[in-house]
């Protein structure tokens, strides 16, 4: 009987093409109407380190990491010891490797998987030819894996053309031959990895990474300016964005550092262009002073933090959800801002677009907390992403008067922000404590009035239905965010199937805590658990501090970089 | 979302200095050089005929960075040291506005030193005016990057002992295409340099000797030291750098002009969101 999902590993040393193998497989799966997600596991070395593509393949939408992997394709064994511990295998797993790669290393063999040996290159190639030209074992493996999983050869060929078609004719001919050899080799292996066809055949699919999805959301939201500095794992977001933003008439600028990035963003935004910066934890630390300026001077800005393991430099290439504290509270003084997080790879589009609208409408920095697991996961998603209702900056300066008051205190805490160049409304964006006209003052009354004005703006923010999502109905609730949503949902599905009905409350808005909709979502809950990937329970403490969850709520908090696996969550709760 | 309206730029005749004054009373000490710079800027904008609403003054933190509050133009008073970064973002988004960045030597050369280097290199069309008084005035008299090594302060008794930073040399080395020096005690001459810097189609760096009478009373003597004798070196960075190395720091005027082209403003849209979204579609 065909299974409903399959988990695969394509592993090799950096440069072996393991990622390309995973990409080929995933694209062919998307073409065939399946769902899936690929995450990347790699070390600090730019070339020659360990690398593995972890692929989940299913006939329904899937984003969580599996408890264990069904099949492990080793393109070579060179660096496998460096990540073997992070890829769970067992005796039901199958390991497929080339005999020329040598014996299965102990780090893999200790799980006692079934081992299969397959010659992954053209057997007619001479040793010299193999040394001179790539063996293209990765393309072979993609053909083999795809065919074993039940993907039609035509889809694999089309995926090859889409992914590597830009290469020279000679290279493509060799790739095509390697793919055909892989497809043929499947028949000689006694292994049934077929996944049942998806029902019903869905409409077209998108293949997108979380980082690309935030970039796309930002473009949908009208971002015109990006200031950024390279940092793993956020750089691929801006690499995707740069040519596209320019093609739409916007501007991306590579700043000299993160301090410049965020200040450039504030400058461009002051000029009237919706603006964004993209970074990871170390960059966010550097940006906190200017985020405070954005709060005080009331300048819209989107700050995307693709979280990685911290503190300090931490693990640049691996995930963690430990920047919540700095995102919510980072900056001196009272500097309230909006912090939101995507619920899935596909939701990065919605959350990214919405971030721009919220920043513009509230005239304040909005921090989007993505993470490496979501950001660098490539997922097959249904093509339609929910689009939030557009909101705009209040640029109308109002009736011309004696002196324009940029920071006027009225019943509406969102004051008027006319664009520079508007005659009669000249104002100064001011980071010093200022009066309503924007002039620096050091008196108590203006200080308190402006602090209150800005706090009220955040307190009154109504996210509507975009506050978060509730999945399921059980009286056990898992509250979580970001990349922990997917494993929480899978754990809830299993718990519910085994008699402990469990719901997942996924928060898109992390700050200010959406107290009312959260209270409604918690109705009927007898046991609540806050799930997050950091040591100190940052979300748990934040929710408790806001009295948004009962004191009896439990916390499952552990650091990254290992993703939560559903079995880990169910064992905590069951 | 609609983007910013781009304004038509005007040359307005009949503007007077008062049109550029906010009326706010400066926090500066009596006798501060920055008053001269404020006057110089007002003269320059009258000469240029750019009305206040078309001008944005961007600054960081320090005595001199308070200047935007004293003018009637648009302004951006940001955090310490990052004025050039904010101005860069602003000018890229709004090339139609006249962006003038102002600040002091601590703001520009110490905490903001990295941005100074890269602004010179980037060559975006703006004037950067640094009021150099060789001291941190707002925090009451600590040595700045341009202070003399033997200048005695409470924080550094006997002097800081390190050689001062040469902003002119650094600007030339980092790729600035317009480098000049002015004096706060000469608002008319300063206004001419400001006009030249604003008109310059790239990054124009103007160091202004602006005495701090309170913490550096000896700077009162700068009046007798400055000379209007700078001979602009055209396009020869090595020669300009050599001159900057031997210069005593009191020659006024344009010191260097380069020919490198400024950064171009963003181009018109040539694609669409729909076309970009299509790349994600698989299997049709």
Give chain A's radius of gyration (CA, Å). Answer: 26
Report if residue A261 sits inside a domain. yes
The domain boundary, picked from A155, A188, A221, lies at: A188
Distance from CA of A285 to the nearest CA of B (A): 15
- The CATH number of residue A131's host domain is 3.40.920.10
Same-domain status, A279 and A139: no
Same domain, A361 and A433: no
Do A231 and A146 have their domain in common?
no
Q: Looking at the structure, do residues A256 and A244 belong to the same domain, yes or no?
A: yes
At A198 the pLDDT is 86
Q: Does B238 touch chain A (CB under 8 A)?
A: no
Q: Do A289 and B4 touch (CB under 8 A)?
A: no
Mean per-residue pLDDT of chain B = 94
Q: Please give the pLDDT value at position A81.
A: 87
Contacts of B5 in chain A (CB under 8 A): 272, 419, 421
Instruction: Name which of A225, A219, A276 is nearest A252 in CA terms.
Output: A225
Q: Which of B87, B91, B282 sits opposite A207 (nearest CB)?
A: B282
- At A452 the three-state DSSP class reads helix
Q: How far is CA B206 from the centre of its chain?
A: 6
pLDDT of residue A131: 59
Q: What is the DSSP string of A367-433?
A: EEEEEHHHHT-EEEEES--PPPPP--------S--SS--TT--SSSSS---PPTT-TT---EEE-S-
* DSSP line for B15-29: --GGGGB--PPP-PP
| One domain for residues A25 and A59 | yes
Comparing CA positions, the residue from A475, A532, A525, A527 lying closest to residue A506 is: A532
Residue A424 and residue A511 share a domain: no
> Cα(B255)–Cα(B181) distance, rounded to whole angstroms?
7
A482 pLDDT more than 90: yes
CA distance A436 to B240: 48
pLDDT at B1: 36
H helices of B94-221, in order, are 105, 113-122, 167-174, 187-199
- Whether A318 and A427 map to the same domain: the answer is no
Q: What is the pLDDT of residue A216?
A: 98
Q: Pick from A382, A416, A442: which residue ends a domain?
A: A382
Neighbouring residues of A12: CB distance < 8 A, sequence distance ≥ 6 = A18, A51, A52, A74, A75, A76, A78, A137, A138
pLDDT in tens, A542-559: 999 999 999 999 999 999
A387 inside domain: no
Question: What does residue B219 show for φ and ψ, rounded to 5 degrees?
Answer: -70, -10
Nearest-Cα distance to chain B for A250, in Å, is: 6
Nearest to A267 among B58, B81, B280 (CB): B58
Q: How far is A251 from chain B (nearest CA, A)?
A: 6
Contact A263 B86 (CB under 8 A): yes
**Which chain B positions have a beta carbon within 8 Å of A247's beta carbon?**
269-271, 276
Number of domains in chain A: 4
- CATH at residue A493: 3.40.50.920
Choose among B124, B224, B214, B207: nearest CA to B165: B207
Q: Exposed, middle or buried: residue B146 (CB in 10 Å: 0-12, 13-18, 19+)? A: buried
Nearest chain B Cα distance for residue A41, angstroms: 23
- Dist. CA A74–CA A47, nearest whole Å: 18
Residues A232 and A272 in one domain: yes
The segments of chain B whose pLDDT lies below 70 read 1-5, 9-10, 284
Q: Looking at CA atoms only, how far is residue B71 from chain A in angstroms?
A: 10
Touching check for A406 and chain B: CB below 8 Å?
no
* Residues A399 and A471 grouped into a single domain: no
Flag whether A389 is in a domain.
no
Residue A198 lies in a domain: no
Which residues are within 8 A (CB) of B232 and not within 5 positions of it... i.e. 6 or more apart? B253, B254, B255, B256, B257
What are the structural domain ranges in chain B? 17-278
A513 domain residue, yes or no: yes
Q: Does B88 touch chain A (CB under 8 A)?
A: yes
Domain enclosing residue A248, as ranges: 207-382
Unique residue bearing structure tokens 């033997």? B150
- The phi, psi pair for A545, rounded to 5°, reads -60, -30
Strands A251-254 and A378-382: unpaired
Report which of A184, A566, A260, A311 is spatially closest to residue B84, judged by C-alpha positions.
Answer: A260
Same domain? For A320 and A451 the reply is no
Beta strand extents in A264-416 (DSSP E only)? 275-279, 301-307, 338-340, 365-371, 378-382
pTM as predicted = 0.96
**Residue A82 DSSP code:** G
List chain A residues with CB under 8 Å of B118: 255-256, 260
Whether A70 and A118 map to the same domain: the answer is yes
In sequence order, the 6+-apart residues with CB closer than 8 A to the CB of A527 are A475, A476, A477, A552, A554
Judge whether residue A44 has pLDDT over 80: no
| A431 in a structural domain | yes
Touching B: A residues 18-37, CB under 8 Å: 27, 30-33
Task: Name the residue with tokens 């073997």.
Answer: A84
Hey, are the CB atoms on A216 and B280 less than 8 Å from each other?
yes
Measured between CB atoms, does B10 come within 8 Å of chain A? no
Range B17-278 classified under CATH 3.90.226.10:
no
CB A251, CB B81: distance < 8 Å = no
Question: φ and ψ at A471, to 5 degrees?
Answer: -115, 120
Q: Which residues pair with A507 in a beta bridge?
A: A468
With beta carbons under 8 A apart, name residues in chain B contacting A32: 283
**Best residue in A426, A430, A435, A437 for a mutation probing chain B (most B CBs within 10 Å):** A426
Determine, yes or no, domain membership for A196.
no
Share of chain A above pLDDT 90, in %: 86
From chain B, pick out residues whose CB is under 8 angstroms from the CB of A207: 280, 282
Q: What is the pLDDT of residue B199?
A: 97
Residue A397 near chain B (CB below 8 Å)? no
Predicted local confidence at residue A21, as pLDDT: 96
Determine the pLDDT at residue A16: 83
| Nearest chain B residue to A253, by CA | B89
**pLDDT at site A378:** 96
Cα–Cα distance between A265 and B79 in angstroms, integer? 13
Note whether A422 contacts B: Cβ–Cβ < 8 A.
Answer: yes
A244-252: average pLDDT: 97
So what's the pLDDT on residue A134?
A: 66
**d(CA B219, nearest CA chain A) in Å:** 29
- R_g of chain B, CA atoms, integer Å: 20
- pLDDT, one tens digit per residue, over A182-215 is 999 999 999 999 999 887 665 789 999 999 999 9
Tell me the chain B residues in contact with residue A359 when contact means C-beta distances shorter than 8 Å. Answer: none
What integer is the mean pLDDT of A378-404?
89
Place of tokens 């924080």: B155
Percent of chain A as helix, strand, coil, to the nearest 5: 40, 20, 40
Q: Of A188, A216, A247, which closes a domain?
A: A188
Place of tokens 């059980």: A474
Asked if residues B58 and B68 have their Cβ atoms less than 8 Å apart, the reply is: yes
Contact at CB, A204 and B281, closer than 8 angstroms: yes
A210-221 helix and A235-247 helix, angle to the nearest 10 degrees: 30
Does the residue A199 lie in any domain?
no
Measured in angstroms, the CA of B230 and the nearest CA of chain A are apart by: 32
A6 membership: H or E segment, kind and range: strand A5-13
Residues A110-152 pLDDT 10s? 999 999 999 997 767 666 666 555 678 999 999 999 999 999 9
Can you tell me the ipTM of this complex? 0.97
With a CB-CB cutoff of 8 Å, which residues 20-49 of chain B face chain A?
24
Question: Chain A partners of B75 at a C-beta cutoff of 8 Å?
Answer: 426-430
CATH code for the domain in which residue A238 is found: 3.40.50.970
| Strand residues in B106-258 grouped as ranges (E) | 126-132, 178-183, 203-209, 233-234, 253-257
Q: Which of B83, B96, B10, B16 is nearest to A419 (CA)?
A: B96
Distance (Å) from the C-alpha of residue B128 to the closest C-alpha of chain A?
15
Q: What local confidence, expressed as pLDDT, does residue B268 receive? A: 87
Helix, coil or strand: residue A151:
coil
Window A:276-295, CB contacts with B under 8 Å: 289-290, 292-293
- The whole-number pLDDT of residue B3 equals 44
- Averaged over A460-484, what is the pLDDT? 97
Q: Residue A361, Cβ neighbours under 10 Å: how many?
A: 18
Instruction: Tell me the C-alpha distance between B251 and A551, whole Å.
Output: 71
Q: 198-227 in A: which are within 8 Å (CB) of B? A: 204-208, 212, 216, 219-222, 224-225, 227
**Residues in A touching B283 (Cβ below 8 Å):** 30-33, 155, 158, 204-205
DSSP 8-state class, residue B46: H
Sheet holding A338-340, edge to edge: A251-254, A225-228, A275-279, A301-307, A365-371, A338-340, A509-511
Is the confidence at residue A466, as pLDDT, over 80? yes
Q: Are A126 and A166 in contact (CB under 8 A)?
A: no
A457 lies in the same domain as A481 = no
Q: How many CB atoms lie within 10 A of CB A338?
A: 25
Q: In this structure, how many other beta carbons lie within 10 angstroms of the beta carbon of residue B157? A: 8
């Amino acid at each position: 009987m065909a299974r409903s999902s399959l988990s695969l590993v394509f592993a090799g040393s950096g440069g072996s093409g393991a990622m390309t193998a995973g990409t080929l497989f995933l694209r062919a799966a998307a073409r065939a109407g399946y769902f899936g997600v690929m995450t990347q596991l790699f070390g600090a070395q730019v070339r020659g380190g360990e690398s593995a593509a972890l692929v989940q393949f299913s006939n329904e939408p899937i984003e969580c990491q599996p408890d264990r992997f069904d099949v492990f394709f080793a393109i070579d064994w060179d660096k496998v010891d460096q990540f073997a511990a992070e890829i769970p295998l067992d005796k039901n797993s199958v390991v497929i490797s080339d005999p020329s790669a040598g014996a299965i290393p102990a780090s893999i063999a200790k799980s006692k998987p079934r081992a299969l040996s397959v010659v992954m290159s053209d057997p007619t190639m001479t040793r010299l030819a193999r040394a001179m030209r790539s063996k293209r074992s990765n393309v072979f493996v993609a053909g083999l894996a795809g065919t074993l999983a039940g993907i039609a050869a035509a889809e694999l060929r089309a995926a090859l053309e889409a992914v590597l078609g830009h290469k020279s004719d000679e290279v493509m001919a060799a790739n095509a031959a390697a793919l055909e050899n892989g497809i043929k080799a499947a028949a000689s292996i006694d292994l049934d990895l077929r996944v049942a066809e998806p029902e019903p055949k869905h409409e077209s699919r998108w293949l997108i990474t979380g980082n690309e999805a935030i970039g796309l959301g930002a473009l949908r939201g009208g971002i015109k300016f990006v200031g950024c500095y390279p940092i793993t794992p956020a750089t691929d977001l801006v690499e995707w964005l740069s040519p596209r933003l320019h093609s739409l008439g916007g501007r991306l600028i590579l700043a000299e550092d993160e301090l410049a990035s965020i200040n450039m963003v504030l400058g461009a935004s002051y000029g009237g262009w919706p603006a964004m910066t993209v970074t990871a934890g170390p960059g966010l630390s550097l940006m906190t002073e200017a985020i405070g300026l954005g709060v005080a001077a009331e300048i819209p800005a989107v700050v995307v933090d693709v979280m990685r393991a911290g503190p300090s430099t931490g693990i640049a290439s691996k995930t963690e959800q430990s920047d919540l504290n700095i995102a919510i509270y980072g900056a001196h003084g009272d500097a309230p801002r909006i912090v939101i997080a995507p619920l899935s790879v596909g939701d990065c589009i919605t959350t990214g677009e919405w971030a721009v609208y919220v920043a513009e409408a509230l005239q304040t920095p909005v921090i989007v907390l993505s993470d490496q697991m979501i950001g660098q996961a490539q997922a097959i998603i249904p093509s339609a992403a929910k689009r939030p209702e557009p909101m705009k900056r209040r640029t109308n300066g109002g009736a011309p008067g004696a002196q324009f008051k940029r920071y006027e205190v009225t019943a509406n805490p969102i004051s008027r922000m006319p664009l520079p160049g508007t005659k009669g409304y000249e104002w100064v964006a001011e980071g010093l404590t200022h009066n309503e006209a924007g002039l620096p003052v050091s008196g108590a009354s203006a200080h308190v009035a402006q602090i209150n004005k800005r706090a009220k703006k955040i307190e009154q923010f109504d996210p509507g239905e975009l506050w978060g999502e509730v999945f399921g109905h059980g009286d056990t609730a898992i509250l979580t965010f970001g990349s922990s949503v997917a494993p929480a949902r899978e754990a809830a599905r299993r718990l519910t199937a085994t008699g402990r009905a469990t719901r997942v409350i996924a928060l898109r808005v992390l700050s200010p805590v959406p107290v009312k909709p959260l209270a409604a979502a918690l109705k009927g809950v007898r046991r609540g658990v806050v799930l997050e990937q950091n040591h100190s329970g940052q979300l748990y403490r934040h929710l408790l501090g806001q009295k948004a969850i009962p004191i009896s709520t439990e916390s499952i908090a552990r650091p990254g970089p290992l993703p939560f696996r559903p079995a880990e969550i169910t064992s905590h709760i069951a | 979302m609609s983007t910013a309206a781009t304004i038509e730029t005007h040359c307005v005749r009949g503007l007077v200095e008062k049109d550029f004054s906010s009326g706010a009373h400066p926090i500066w000490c009596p006798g501060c050089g920055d008053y001269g710079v404020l006057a110089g800027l007002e003269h320059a904008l009258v000469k240029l005929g750019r009305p206040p609403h078309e001008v944005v003054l961007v600054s960081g933190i320090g005595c001199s960075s308070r200047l935007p509050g004293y003018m009637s133009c648009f302004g951006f008073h940001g955090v310490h040291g990052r004025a050039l970064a904010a101005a860069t973002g602003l000018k890229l988004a709004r090339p139609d506005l006249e962006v003038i960045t102002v600040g002091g030597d601590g703001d520009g050369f110490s905490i903001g030193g990295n941005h100074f280097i890269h602004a010179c290199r980037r060559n975006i069309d703006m004037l950067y005016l640094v009021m150099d008084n060789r001291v941190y005035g707002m925090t009451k008299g600590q040595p700045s990057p341009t202070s003399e090594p033997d200048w005695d302060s409470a924080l550094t008794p006997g002097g800081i002992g390190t050689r001062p930073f040469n902003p002119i040399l650094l600007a030339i080395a980092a790729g600035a295409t317009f480098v000049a020096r002015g004096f706060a005690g000469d608002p008319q001459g300063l206004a001419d340099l400001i006009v030249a810097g604003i008109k310059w189609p790239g990054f124009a760096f103007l160091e202004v000797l602006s005495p701090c009478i309170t913490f550096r009373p000896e700077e009162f003597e700068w009046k007798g030291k400055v000379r209007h004798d700078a001979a602009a070196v055209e396009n020869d960075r090595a020669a300009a750098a050599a001159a900057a190395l031997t210069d005593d720091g009191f020659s006024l005027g344009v010191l260097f002009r380069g020919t490198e082209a400024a950064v171009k403003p963003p181009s018109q849209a040539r694609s669409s969101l729909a076309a970009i979204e299509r790349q994600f579609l698989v299997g049709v």
